[in-house]
Chains A and B, each alone.
Chain A
Amino acid sequence: MIRRCLPHPLMSGFLLLAWLLLQRSLAPATLLAGVLVAMGLGRAFGKLRPPAARIRNVPLLVRLLLRVMGDIVRSNLAVAWLVLRPGGQVRSGFVSVSLELTDPYGLAALACIITSTPGTIWVDHDSTRRVLLIHVLDLVDEAAWIGNIKRRYERPLLEIFQ
């Protein structure tokens, strides 16, 4: 019964939250309209036939999020210093990383993490050869970057999504 009315509870929950935040009220009418909109759009989302997402390890997901926030702050400062320091150009380049991760949601999360961190950007992913191409602004040690991404981000994502 619940499955039929609410096929995508996570999606509907986020939609309801966004609705309430935008309306800035918790009046019963707003709440009712929000629930209706969230349920309707949740069903519409099901029509797109999204691949099934399973989050296996919620505490690890929270820890990964905290780690990513810390990394974003640190690389923000690093990139700001690279921009502000007088003269001297940085050496940057492309790096290819071979991945074990194949889950589409895991890959999407990895793309968001890598691109949101200033200094690295996701360029291309070859799903048949499982090779990821990224561009790094301050490329000193290629192997260190590869190890960093595989250890800090790919390992937890594998455990969470796959």
Chain B
Amino acid sequence: MNHLDALPPWAAVLVGVLVLLGAGFAFVGSLGLLRLRDFYKRVHAPTLGTTLGTFFMVVASIVCFSVAQGRPVLHEMLIGVFLTLTTPITLMLLVRAALYRNRVEGQQRVPPPR
């Protein structure tokens, strides 16, 4: 762990808190995936991990590498930008697929097709 020891104390505490927050949000999101009862409720849970969970982890990584290397290391930002653009697409497609399947079967209460 010698490269982490090179961080100044404030950066070490900041990175630690950010990493814990990011992992915490991702964990709560996945727990929601397990605890909520039906599919349309569960769809909302993973967004926690893709928004704030990813945000905190990316910021932690940026702070850690920028302070350790003494110059701005920003390419982690691409992960954040990419996830914010793609998550809506995947979730939207999944909900539409689920809605279509439920309509075809006609079991669950879903809005009727137009």
Direct contact of A and B (CB under 8 A): yes
Q: Which of A22, A94, A120, A129 contacts B110 (CB 8 A)?
A: A94
Nearest chain-A residue to B111 (Cβ)? A94
Nearest chain-A residue to B36 (Cβ)? A83
B73:A121 contact, CB within 8 angstroms: no
Which residues on B sit within 8 Å (CB–CB) of A80? Answer: 25, 28, 48
Q: Does B16 contact A (CB under 8 A)?
A: no
Which of B43, B50, B88 has the most chain A CB atoms closer than 10 A to its own CB?
Answer: B88
Q: Does A149 contact B (CB under 8 A)?
A: no
B92:A111 contact, CB within 8 angstroms: yes
Q: Is the interface of B mostly helix, strand, loop or mixed?
A: helix
A18 to B85: give the CA distance in the assembly, Å: 14
B92:A122 contact, CB within 8 angstroms: yes
Q: What's the minimum C-beta distance from A132 to chain B, rounded to whole angstroms?
A: 12
A22 to B75: give the CA distance in the assembly, Å: 6
Nearest chain-B residue to A114 (Cβ)? B88
Q: Does B47 contact A (CB under 8 A)?
A: yes
Which residues on A sit within 8 Å (CB–CB) of B99? Answer: 123-124
Interface residues on B, range: 35 or more
A21:B78 contact, CB within 8 angstroms: yes
Q: Write out, one digit per residue, whether chain A residues 95-112 have a CB within 8 A of any chain B CB (1) or not (0).
A: 010000000000000011
A126 to B114: give the CA distance in the assembly, Å: 9
Q: Which of A84, A112, A122 contacts B85 (CB 8 A)?
A: A112
A135 to B39: give the CA distance in the assembly, Å: 11
29 A–B pairs (Cβ distance < 8 Å), ordered by A? A18-B78, A21-B75, A21-B78, A22-B75, A24-B73, A72-B52, A79-B44, A79-B47, A80-B25, A83-B31, A84-B28, A89-B37, A92-B40, A92-B41, A94-B110, A111-B88, A111-B92, A115-B88, A116-B50, A116-B84, A116-B87, A118-B48, A118-B51, A121-B44, A122-B88, A124-B96, A124-B99, A126-B114, A137-B44
Nearest chain-A residue to B41 (Cβ)? A92
Question: Measuring CB to CB, which residues of chain A are less than 8 angstroms from any residue of chain B?
Answer: 18, 21-22, 24, 72-73, 76, 79-80, 82-84, 89-90, 92, 94, 96, 111-112, 114-124, 126, 129, 133, 135, 137
A2 to B92: give the CA distance in the assembly, Å: 38
A122 to B89: give the CA distance in the assembly, Å: 10
Name B69-91 residues within 8 Å CB distance of A.
Answer: 73-75, 77-78, 84-85, 87-88, 91
Name B19-48 residues within 8 Å CB distance of A.
Answer: 25, 28-29, 31-32, 35-37, 40-41, 43-45, 47-48
